Amino acid sequence: MRGPRWNTAFLILVLTFLLAPFLVVFLSAFSSGETLAFPPAGLSLRWLGFVFTVAAFQGSFLTSLAVAVVATLLSLLLGVPVAYALSRFRVPGAELIRTVLTTPLIIPGIVVGLGLLRYFIIVYNVPIYSGLILGHTALLIPYAVRVVSASLGNLRPDIEDAAHTLGASRVRVFWSVVLPNIRGAVVSASVLAFITSFNQVPVSLFLTGPGVSTLPIQMLSYMEYTFDPSIAALSTVLVAFTVLIVLGAERLLGLSRYV
Q: Is residue 63 part of a domain?
A: yes
At residue 64, the pLDDT reads 93
Which whole-number Å values give the CA distances from 52 to 137, 143, 215, in the listed order? Answer: 28, 31, 12
Tens of pLDDT, residue by residue over 62-100, are: 999 999 999 999 999 999 999 988 888 888 887 888 888
Residue 10 has pLDDT above 80, yes or no: yes
Parent domain of 237:
54-257
Tens of pLDDT, residue by residue over 93-109, are: 878 888 888 887 788 88
Quick check: 35 and 25 in contact, CB under 8 A?
Answer: no
Q: Is residue 213 part of a domain?
A: yes
End-to-end Cα distance, the chain: 34
The tally of domains found in the chain comes to: 1
Average pLDDT over residues 227-249: 84
Q: What percent of the chain has pLDDT over 70?
A: 96
Tens of pLDDT, residue by residue over 176-203, are: 888 888 888 888 899 889 999 999 998 8
pTM: 0.85
Residue 45 and residue 31: Cα distance in Å, rounded? Answer: 8
At residue 89, the pLDDT reads 83
Q: Is residue 42 part of a domain?
A: no
Q: Which amino acid appears at position 86 of this protein?
A: L
CATH of the domain at 78: 1.10.3720.10
Closest CA to 153 of 174, 178, 171, 175: 178
Q: Is residue 13 part of a domain?
A: no
Q: Is residue 47 part of a domain?
A: no
The DSSP bridge partners found for residue 212 are 209
Tens of pLDDT, residue by residue over 128-179, are: 888 899 999 989 999 899 889 888 888 888 888 888 787 878 888 888 888 8
The packing angle between helices 128-153 and 109-116, to 10°, is 130
Residue 185 and residue 255: Cα distance in Å, rounded? Answer: 8
Which whole-number Å values give the CA distances from 55 to 52, 61, 208, 215, 236, in the listed order? Answer: 8, 10, 18, 11, 19
pLDDT band at 1; cut points 50, 70, 90: very low
Q: Is residue 107 part of a domain?
A: yes
Residue 36 has pLDDT above 80, yes or no: no
Average pLDDT over residues 32-40: 77
Q: Is residue 8 part of a domain?
A: no
- The residue that leads in pLDDT, 58 or 33, is 58
**Mean pLDDT for all residues in the chain:** 84
Residue 239 and residue 197: Cα distance in Å, rounded? Answer: 14
Q: Is residue 132 part of a domain?
A: yes
Residue 71 and residue 58: Cα distance in Å, rounded? Answer: 20
Residue 132 and residue 138: Cα distance in Å, rounded? Answer: 10
